[in-house]
Amino acid sequence: MTVLDLVRHYDLDGEPVAIERNGQIVDRQAFEAEVIQEGDVIEMVRFVGGG
């Protein structure tokens, strides 16, 4: 599974989202190539507006 697959799984494709893999930010252009391995720690942050 790639980072892009994960983003699409949660219906966040096209949304402002940041992904961290094992403590390193994954550049959006690398989502398709970045393969998630067993044991990786993934953090997803979705940005939302409010007021």
Q: Which pLDDT tens digit goes with each residue over 11-31?
A: 999 899 999 999 999 999 999
**What pLDDT score was predicted for residue 11?**
96
* Cβ atoms 3, 30 nearer than 8 A: yes
**What pLDDT score was predicted for residue 28?**
95
Q: Is residue 26 part of a domain?
A: yes
Whole-number mean pLDDT of the chain?
95
* Domain hosting residue 42, numbered range: 3-46
**What pLDDT score was predicted for residue 25?**
98
The CATH number of whichever domain residue 13 belongs to comes to: 3.10.20.30
Total number of domains in the chain: 1
Question: The tokens of 18 are what?
Answer: 């940041």
* Cβ atoms 46, 15 nearer than 8 A: yes
